[in-house]
């Protein structure tokens, strides 16, 4: 029923908010083939000697006592370059921090990449601060063109320097974006109409066609985030009441000494023939605890089990689960588990579905000498197999399945491709889950 490939070829990814399953970086490195995308960085352009002279003055005049008149004009390049050089002490300080050619790039920033242009601007500010430290006034700096910044910029930065002692950008400075109430209302209408299940590109089209509003993708995203929307997966969890939280804490404390390597984690899940059943969408923060995906359609129910000792099978079916069907499927799982446990006692972790606790199932487990561990209500976050379902659904959600056959095949393929080391780490995360449950006072954990 299952194959031997490793999940590294399946492209399955992890829940990015998980604190117990391996993190996204680890999972992605194991599940997805590495891609070499490194590209050599563009080398910074060297500055000409003339550029350097333009900033710090003609080196031939370094010993000159010449101090041009404030109102002097320069008719030739030679006259223009014959300006007083930067003080030797300043120059030494600059050289100490780095090569002068790197500190003073003067080429037009428009001719460079955004990163290079930003570095050039930062270097000019660095030099300007050094000049201020040496007591130079804005008038002298502008007049002698020591730093290629506009006069207004130099005076503005000098004002900042006098107030703060440096010219570093203040936190929160810069142009403040202003929300247009018309834009906000239009976006709220679109979100309500489409229940958040809409792309930024589609939002832009609707804004243009129905509201005559033209916004960039970044502006749409910024407004959504600033008004309380986030881009997330459906949340089908139930908020814990005080009693539920207390029960979870008690259960976690009582099971801290369990040898989890002797435990089988079993669970059911559902997979739909529906391209949107596991897609992210825009949801307002105030609705996070109540928002769930109610997508209906043709589906397959799936029952699977995992343990630290080795692989166990999964079964996909269309029928509604009941005690008889459960016993049939669990029988196939226990047949494989017996080989792995080699006579050891088998413990079973599963939720409190009605058929799990039926008399027929209890009698069957007793006959097979399998112990069912108690499980706290509404606690899917404590069952490691939930991470496996999450990995599978994330990977499978990138493809549309139009038939039950293709959906069933994908389920088996993804299950059979589960990486052994990953499965073991997921199962061995139980002690961490229990400790976290106690520390967080029983609230639902991110898994």
DSSP states of 183-199 = HHHHHHHHHHHHTT---
Q: Per residue, what are the HEC states of 31-91?
A: HCCCCCCCCCCCCCCCCCHHHHHHHHCCHHHCCCCCCCCCCCCCCCHHHHHCCCCCCHHHH
Model confidence over 213-266: pLDDT tens digits? Answer: 999 998 899 899 888 888 876 655 554 578 889 999 999 999 999 999 999 999
Residue 62 has a pLDDT of 39
In the chain, % of residues over pLDDT 90: 32
Q: Find where tokens 């939002």 sit.
A: 203
For the chain, the average pLDDT equals 74
Name 319's Cβ contacts closer than 8 Å, sequence gap at least 6: 301, 325
CA distance 339 to 337: 5
Largest CA distance in the chain: 106
Model confidence over 297-310: pLDDT tens digits? Answer: 688 999 999 999 99
**Predicted confidence band at 371 (pLDDT cuts at 50, 70, 90)?**
very high
Q: Which of 80-89, 102-111, 373-382 has the highest mean pLDDT?
A: 373-382
What is this structure's pTM?
0.49
- Tell me the average pLDDT across 353-380: 92
Q: State CA 141 to chain mean position distance.
A: 45
Model confidence over 97-128: pLDDT tens digits? Answer: 433 333 333 333 334 455 555 566 667 878 88
Residue 80 has a pLDDT of 38
97 CB neighbour count, 10 Å cutoff = 13
Residue 176 has a pLDDT of 52
Answer CATH for 238-439 from 3.40.50.300, 3.30.70.260, 3.30.420.10, 1.10.3720.10: 3.30.420.10
- Domain limits, the chain: 49-164, 181-227, 238-439
């Amino acid at each position: 029923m299952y194959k031997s490939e490793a999940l590294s070829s399946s492209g399955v990814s992890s829940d990015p908010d998980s604190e117990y399953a391996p993190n996204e970086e680890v999972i992605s490195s194991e599940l997805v083939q590495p891609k070499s995308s490194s590209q050599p960085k563009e080398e910074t352009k060297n500055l000409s000697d003339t550029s350097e002279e333009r900033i710090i003055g003609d080196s031939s005049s370094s010993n000159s006592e010449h101090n041009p008149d404030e109102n002097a004009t320069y008719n030739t390049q030679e006259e223009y370059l014959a300006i007083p050089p930067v003080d030797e002490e300043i120059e030494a300080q600059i050289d100490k921090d780095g090569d002068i050619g790197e500190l003073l790039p003067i080429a037009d920033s428009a001719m460079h990449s955004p990163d290079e242009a930003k570095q050039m601007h930062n270097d000019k500010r660095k030099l300007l601060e050094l000049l201020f430290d040496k007591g130079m006034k804005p008038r002298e700096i502008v007049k002698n063109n020591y730093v290629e910044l506009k006069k207004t910029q130099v005076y503005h930065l000098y004002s900042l320097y006098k107030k703060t002692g440096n010219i570093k950008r203040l936190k929160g400075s810069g142009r403040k974006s202003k929300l247009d109430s018309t834009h906000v209302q239009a976006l709220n209408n679109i979100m309500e109409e489409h229940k958040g299940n809409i792309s930024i590109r589609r939002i832009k089209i609707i804004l243009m066609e129905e509201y005559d509003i033209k916004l960039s993708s970044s502006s749409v995203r910024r407004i959504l985030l600033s008004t309380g929307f986030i881009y997330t997966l459906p949340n089908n969890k139930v908020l814990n009441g005080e009693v539920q939280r207390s029960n979870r804490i008690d259960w976690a404390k009582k099971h801290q000494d369990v040898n989890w390597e002797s435990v089988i984690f079993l669970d059911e899940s559902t997979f739909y023939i529906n391209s949107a059943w596991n897609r992210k969408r825009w949801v307002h923060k105030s609705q996070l605890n109540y928002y769930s995906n109610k997508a209906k359609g043709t589906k397959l129910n799936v029952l699977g089990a995992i343990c630290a000792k080795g692989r166990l099978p999964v079964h996909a079916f269309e029928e509604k689960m009941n005690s008889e069907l459960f016993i049939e499927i669990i029988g196939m799982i226990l047949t494989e588990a017996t080989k792995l446990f080699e006579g050891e006692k088998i413990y079973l972790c599963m939720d409190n579905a009605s058929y799990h606790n039926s008399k027929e199932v209890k009698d069957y487990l007793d006959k097979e000498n399998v112990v069912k561990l108690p499980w706290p209500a509404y606690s899917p976050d404590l069952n490691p197999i939930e991470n496996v379902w999450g990995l599978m659904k994330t990977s499978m959600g990138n493809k549309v399945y139009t038939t039950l056959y293709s959906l069933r095949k994908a389920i088996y393929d993804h299950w059979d491709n589960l990486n052994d080391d990953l499965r073991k780490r997921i199962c061995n995360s139980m002690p961490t889950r229990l400790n976290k449950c106690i520390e967080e006072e029983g609230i639902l954990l991110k898994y």
